[in-house]
Amino acid sequence: MISETRTQNPDAIIDLICHSQGCVAAGLAKPKGIRKIVLLGPPAELSPEEFSKVFTLPGTAIDFDGVSTLARRDGSTTIVPKAYWDSIRGLDPITLYNALADTSKVVAVHANQDEVIGSLDFSRLSPKIKQIRIDANHNFTDEARAELIEAVQPEFERVPIVDEQDNIIMHKFRDEVASDDIYRVSALWITNTNGDILLAQRAHTKDHDPGRWQGAAAGTVEEGETYLENIMKEAWEEIGIENLQVTPGPKMLENGKHRFFAQFFIATLDKPAEAFKIKQDEVLQVRWFSRDELAHELRTNPDKFTPGTAWAFKEL
C-alpha cells in the first residue's frame, strides 16, 4: 500500500496509524520515508504464553500446536492457527518500535485499562518515542475515543508560516516549525465592568511557557483558519465560553524564544472565575486580577507571565 501510494502520489507525505498487532506489522515491515508513525495500543510483549494469561473468558481454547479460539469481551471470537504462534515466538515488539524511531517520528498511545495485550511495561522504549497514556480499553471505545482523537490530531495538523508582514509563505507540521519561523497566534483579553482582567494559567504540560499566566485564552492558528476563527474555538475549548462578542485589538510580533504574530481580541464579561469551564490539560486555573494587582505582579514577578502579557497590559 505504501508503494502504491508513492506511485500514485510521488510528492505525498506519508504517515502511518497502526493499532494493536498492526504496530508489530509496521515494525516488521521497516518502512522507509515515513514522516510519522502513531502506535495505538501497541503490545509490549508478544508470545503464546502472554496470550494465555490475557484470554481467559469462557469459550477460549488455546492449543499452541493446533488451532486456537480466543473469546473477546465484545462477544466476538478470534481463530488463531498454529502458524501464528510459531511466527511470534522470540519476537520482541519493543526492539521493532525502537528501530522505527531511528527513521521516523514515532508516537505510542497506551490504553491504561488494556484488556487484550497484557503487559504495559514500556520501560525499554526509546526516549525518541513520544508516549501518551489514556484511560481506555484496547479499542479506545466510548468516551475514550474522543480523547484519543484529541490526543492524536495535533500530530497531523499544519500551521501557517508567515513573513514579517504576516503574509503566508508556507505551511508546516507543528513539530517541524523551526526556531526562526514566524507562525500565528490568537489571544483573548477579557475585562469585566469593574476593570478587572481575567488571566489563565497554562497547564504544566504545555510545550511553550508551561505554568505561566496569560490572557484568558490563546491558541496557534491552524491551516485554513483565520485569527478570529481560532480565538472563538480556543475560547470554547479552554474556558467554555461560546458566542462571545469580541473586538479585534492590536497585533504584535513576538521575537523572543519563539517568533509569532499575536492578534489580540478584546471582550467584556461579568462572570465569576469559578463559573468558567476550564479544560484541565490546557488551563490550570483562571482568576480575575485588579489592574493594580496585575501591575504589581508584572513588575515584581515577571517570570510568572508569558512575554505578551506585560505588553497586552500596557496596550489594551
Domain residue ranges in the chain: 2-46+91-156, 52-90, 159-315
Tell me: pLDDT of 308 over 90: no
User: What pLDDT score does 246 carry?
Assistant: 96
User: What pLDDT score does 98 carry?
Assistant: 98
Give the model's confidence band at 206: pLDDT under 50 very low, under 70 low, under 90 confident, else very high: confident
Pairing of strands 15-19, 36-40: parallel
Select the more confidently predicted residue: 117 or 305: 305
Phi, psi angles (nearest 5°) of residue 57: -70, 155
Q: What is the pLDDT of residues 207-253, one digit of tens each?
A: 788 999 999 999 999 999 999 999 999 999 999 999 999 999 999 99
DSSP state of 179: T
Give the model's confidence band at 260: pLDDT under 50 very low, under 70 low, under 90 confident, else very high: very high
Task: Fold for 159-315, please state it.
Answer: Nucleoside Triphosphate Pyrophosphohydrolase (3.90.79)
Rounded to two decimals, what is the model's pTM? 0.76
User: What pLDDT score does 16 carry?
Assistant: 96
Tell me: pLDDT of 191 over 80: yes
User: What pLDDT score does 257 carry?
Assistant: 86
Phi, psi angles (nearest 5°) of residue 41: 60, 45
Q: What is the pLDDT of residues 31-86, one digit of tens each?
A: 999 999 999 999 999 888 877 777 888 999 989 889 999 888 778 898 999 998 88
Mean pLDDT score, 254-270: 94
CATH number among 3.40.1360.10, 3.40.50.300, 3.40.50.2000, 3.40.50.1820, domain 2-46+91-156: 3.40.50.1820
Equal fold, 2-46+91-156 vs 159-315: no
Mean pLDDT score, 157-176: 96
Q: What is the pLDDT of residues 18-33, one digit of tens each?
A: 999 999 999 999 999 9
User: What pLDDT score does 249 carry?
Assistant: 95
Q: Are 68 and 48 in contact (CB under 8 A)?
A: no
Task: Return d(Cα 108, Cα 309) in angstroms, integer.
Answer: 35
Lowest-pLDDT range of 72-76, 279-283, 311-315 = 72-76
57's grid cell: 473468558
> Average pLDDT over the chain, rounded to whole?
93
Phi, psi angles (nearest 5°) of residue 121: -85, 100
User: What pLDDT score does 49 carry?
Assistant: 80
User: What pLDDT score does 135 carry?
Assistant: 94
User: What pLDDT score does 167 carry?
Assistant: 98
For residue 291, count other CB atoms closer than 10 A to its CB: 13
Q: What is the pLDDT of residues 100-130, one digit of tens each?
A: 999 999 999 999 998 888 788 999 999 999 9
Fill in the amino acid letter for 276: F
